A and B are shown apart, each in its own frame.
Chain A
Amino acid sequence: MLAADKEVQRTRAPKRKVDFRQWLDQEAPKLLILPTVLIILGLAIYPLLLSAYLALSRFKLVRGGFELKYVGFRNFEKLISGSQQYHFVGTLGEILLWEWAIISVVISGFGYWLWRYFSGASKKKVTIIGSIGRLITVAVFSVLTILAFTVLNDTGRPGSLMVTLFYVFAGVSIQFAIALGLALLCAQNIRGKNFFRMAFFIPIMVTPVGIAYAFRMMMDMSQGPFSPVWHLLGLGDFAWAGDAWLARWVVLIGDSWQWIPFLFMVLLAAIENQPKEQIEAAQLDGASSWRVFKDITFPAIAPVAATAVLIRLIEAFKIIDLPNILTNGGPGIATESMTLHSFIAWRTQDLGGSAAVGYSLLFIAVVVCVSFFNFIGQRTAAKGA
C-alpha cells in the first residue's frame, strides 16, 4: 500500500467517527423521545383504534369466546335516533316560538362570527384548517344549542350528552368563579393565610371515589353524619335524590368541592406572580380595587387562567365517580354523564354501544376544548402578553 493511501485512510477513519457522533448529537432528541412515543402508541393509540373498530361492531359473547360483527354506524344511529335516543340525546320536546327566536339569535351570532372571518373583517388570515375548524365549531355548537332547547324544556328530558355538558359548562364556570374569589382572598395579607391554603387544597388530594363516598355520607339528610345539621336547618326530609335537577346540582356541587382547589392553587400562584409595580402605580393614581382587578390583575392572570380552565374542561368531560356513587345515575337516568353511560353499556356487554358513546364523548370534548383553546385561550394569551 502506498504511504499516501495509508495517510488517507488514517484521516478518513476519525472523520467517520466524528460523523457518527454528530449524527447521534443531531438525532439524540428523536432517539430519546422514541421510547415514549412507542409507549404512547401502544397504550393510547392502539386502544383508540381498537375501540373505533368496536364502535362500528356488534360484540357478542359466544361459546368459548366472542364474536365481532361489523355493523357500520348502527351503534351511533341507535344513540342518535334509535332505541337509545332517550338515553344519549334525551327525550325530545317541542320548541316554542320564543325559544326558536333565541336559537335564531344565537345561530346568527355564530353566522356573524363566521362572516367576519371569511370577509376579512376580523383581520385574520383565512386558511383551510382555520375555515374547517370554524365550520365544525359553528355546526357543533349550533346543533347543541338547538338540542339544549329541545331537551331542556317542559316536554323534553336531557340525556347523558346534555347532562355532561351541564356538568362541564355550569360546573367549570362555577368552579372558576369560586376559585378566583378564594384565590383573591388568600392573596391578601390575612392572618392564617397558609392554613386556608392547605384547607382549601385538601379535597383534591383525596381520590375521586373517596370524595364521592365522603360526599354521599355528607349529603345523606336522614342518617348521615351531618343529619343533625340538616334536621336543624329543616332539611331532614329533603329529598334531593328524587328530583332530577336537584340530584344533578348535588353532583355538580360534589364535583366543584373536589376541583375548586385545583383552579384555586393555579390562580393563586398566578395572582401572586403578577408584577406588583403596575398595581402600586395604579393605586397611587387612585384606581379602585375593581379597576385594578379588571385592568391589571385579570389580564395578567388570563393566560394561566385559560390554561387551567382548559385542563379543567377536559377533566370535567370525564366525570363518572360522583354520579355513579351518589345516585348510580338516578333518579331514572337523570344524573348519568356520558362516561357513566358508556360504563353502564359496557356492564351490559354492549361493548359496541359503549365504544360509540366513548367516541361521541371524544368528538364533543375535542371540538369544545380545541375551540376554547383556539378562540378564547389564544386570545387571552395574546392580550396577556
Chain B
Amino acid sequence: MKLAKMMKPGTLKKLSVALATTTALGVCATQAAAKQYDGVTVNVMTFTGPQIAEPLQRHAPKFQEMTGAKVNIITVPFSDLYTKLLTDFVTNTNSVDAAVFAPQWMVDYADPGYLENLSSRIAKDSALEADDISGFFRSFSTQYQGQPYMITLDGDFHMVYYRSDVLKAAGLEPPKTWDEYLAVAKAVNGQDMNGDGKADYGSCISKKRNAQAYWSIMSIAGGYLQGKGTSQGAFFDTKDMKPLVNNEAFAAALNIYKDTSKYAPADEINLDVGDTRSLFISGRCALTLDWGDIGTLAIDPKSSKVIDKVGAIALPGSKSVLNRETGKLEACTATSCPHAVGGVNRAPYAAFGGWSGGINASGDVKVKNAAYDFFSYVSQPAQSNADVTKGITGFNPYRKSQFNSIDNWVKAGMSEEAAKNYLGAIKDSLNSPNMMLDLRIPKNQNYQQVVLDTAIARFLAGEIDVNQTMQSIEEGWNELNEDLGKDDQLKLYKATLGQK
C-alpha cells in the first residue's frame, strides 16, 4: 500500500507543511548557529564624537548582523578618556572590553599587561590586508616593544590648510615658514572670504584648554627644534633627557603661536578643533592648522562653502634651528639642517598617531575575538576606503591604497587636483626624513595634556609671559622625569626614536 493511500485526506498536506516548517526552522537554526558571536556583547570606549564615534556606531549594527556580536560604543569627553581607561584597567573594573584611543598612550596600558597582544590575530587575518597599512602606522604607531597592540583606524598628521582662492587673489604663495604663515594671515585678515559681507580671519587655530589644542605648539616648534632627522627627537635632548622647552627655539614658537591670534576670531582661545573646522569650511578663515579632517570636511556639499577652494601643505618650518649646546637659535646649515629644502627646515608632526583600537587583555576570549573582528572589520579596505573620504568620520587616510587611488577621492567629491594636493601633503609628511614623532614615553599624557596644556593655556590667556611659560613646562617635565626615573625615561625615549 502506498503511503499516501494509508493516510487520511489532508494528512499529507499537513505533513508537508510540518516538514517545511521543520526544515525552515532547521535552516534558521543553522544560520543562527553560524553567527559565531551570538550573545556576545563588546563595550568599546572612545571619545565623544561625532567624529571617530560616528563610524564605529554606524558599523556596529552591520557587524552584529554578520557575526551576532553586539557592540556598544561608550563615549566620554576627550580629556577624560586616558584616565577613564587607565582606572578601569588598573582597578580591574573591566567595564571596557576594548577602546579606540591615542596610540601614544599605549605604553601606559601595554606595559602593565592591560592590552591584548594582537600579533597572532593579525597574522591570521588576511581580510585586514595589514600590508596595505602604511608602515609608519603598522610598524611604529600601533606597536609597543615590537609587538602590535592596536589596529589602525585613522592616520594622523598635523598640516596647514589654506584657502587657495583667497591666496591666489592676493598673489600669495602658501607659507613655507611660520614667519610666512603670519605674513599671509596678516595680508588677508579682514577680507570677506565667503561673500557674506562680513570681515573674515587670516588664521583659525584651536586653542582651547583641556581639549585637543596642545599639539599645535609642538607643530610650530618642530621646525625650530629638530633638524637632523626623525631620530633626533624634538621633546628632550637624547644626551641627558633635558626638556627642549626653555630655549630660543621654543620662545620663537611661542611668539608665533601667540601672534597668530592677532589675525584670528576674538574668542579663538575658547575654540575646540570642531569649532575651527566649522569656521574654516564655512569660509571664514584663510589658514588653519589641523589634522587631515579638513580635507574631507571641505568637500561635504551639505556644510562646506569652500569646495575645491582648499589647499594643504606639510607643516611650515624655519630657516634657523636650535643649537642644543647653547640653547640659541642659529641659521640652518648643511650640518644642522641636512633635510632642509630651499633653506627651510620642516618637521612634519605625526601628532597623536591616528585613532586606533586596542583590546582589554583580561576579557573573555570570545569577547576579545569579537572586539578584534570588529576593529578589523572597520579597518578593512571595504569600510575604511569609504570612511576616510567622509569628514564626519574623523578618519584620515592611512592605507597605501588610499594614498594611491585618486578615483576613490574623486568619487567622494574632490577634484583631481584637490585630491592630489591633499594626499600629496600627507605623503610629504609621512615620507619626510625629518618627520617629528609624538611623545611615547610612559605618562606622556601627563607631560602633554597636563603640564604643557596648562602652561600654554596660561600663556595664551596672558597670565604668564614667554619665559615663565618655558620655565613652567621645563619644571613640570623635569619633575615628571625625576618621579618616573630620568634614566628609565631617557632609555625609553631613545628607544621610541630608534636610537640605542
Contact = CB atoms under 8 A, between A and B. Distances in A.
B450 interface: yes
A330 B267 contact: no
A348 B266 contact: no
B301 interface: no
Interface stretch (B124-132, B248-256, B453-461): B453-461
Contacts, number: 93
B172 interface: no
B208 A328 contact: yes
A178 interface: no
Nearest to A349: B83
Interface stretch (A47-55, A109-117, A238-246): A238-246
A363 B299 CA distance: 55
A330 B270 contact: yes
A332 B458 contact: yes
B27 interface: no
A344 B450 CA distance: 9
Interface stretch (A9-17, A28-36, A59-67): A59-67
A17 to B, nearest CB: 52
Contacts of B462: 331-332
Contacts of B275: 223
Contact of A333 (B91, B111, B457): B457
B209 A330 contact: yes
Nearest to B266: A239
Contact of B266 (A64, A223, A237, A346): A237
Given A64-B112, A65-B90, A83-B479, A239 B461 contact: no
B285 to A, nearest CB: 12
Contact of A332 (B198, B268, B461, B479): B461
B210 A329 contact: yes
B270 A332 contact: no
Contacts of A61: 86, 90
A288 B105 CA distance: 70
Nearest to A346: B83
A332 B463 contact: yes
B265 interface: yes
Contacts of A236: 198
Interface in B68-92: 79-80, 83, 86, 90-91
B60 interface: no
Contact of A157 (B111, B463, B475): B463
A222 interface: yes
B86 A349 contact: yes
A157 B468 CA distance: 15
B457 A332 contact: yes
A241 B261 CA distance: 13
B113 interface: yes
B113 A331 contact: no
Interface residues of B, number: 36
Contact of B113 (A64, A223, A328, A334): A64
Interface string B468-480: 0000000100010
Contacts of A239: 265-267, 269
A79 interface: no
A223 B270 contact: no
A103 interface: no
Interface residues of A, number: 33
Contact of B79 (A223, A241, A347): A347
Contacts of B268: 242
A57 interface: no
B119 interface: no
Nearest to A62: B112
A331 B83 contact: no
A307 interface: no
B279 interface: yes
B211 interface: yes
B236 to A, nearest CB: 20
Interface of B: 79-80, 83, 86, 90-91, 111-113, 198, 208-211, 265-270, 275, 278-279, 446, 449-450, 454, 457-463, 475, 479
Given A332-B461, A334-B461, 12 more contacts: A61-B90, A66-B90, A91-B463, A240-B267, A242-B266, A242-B269, A242-B461, A328-B79, A330-B270, A330-B457, A332-B458, A347-B83
Question: Which 3 pairs between the two chains have the least Cβ-Cβ distance?
Answer: A239-B266, A332-B461, A241-B270
30 contacts: A61-B86, A63-B112, A64-B112, A65-B90, A66-B90, A66-B91, A157-B463, A221-B267, A237-B265, A238-B266, A239-B265, A239-B269, A240-B267, A241-B270, A242-B266, A327-B209, A328-B210, A329-B210, A330-B209, A330-B457, A331-B270, A331-B462, A332-B209, A332-B458, A332-B462, A346-B83, A347-B80, A347-B83, A349-B83, A349-B446
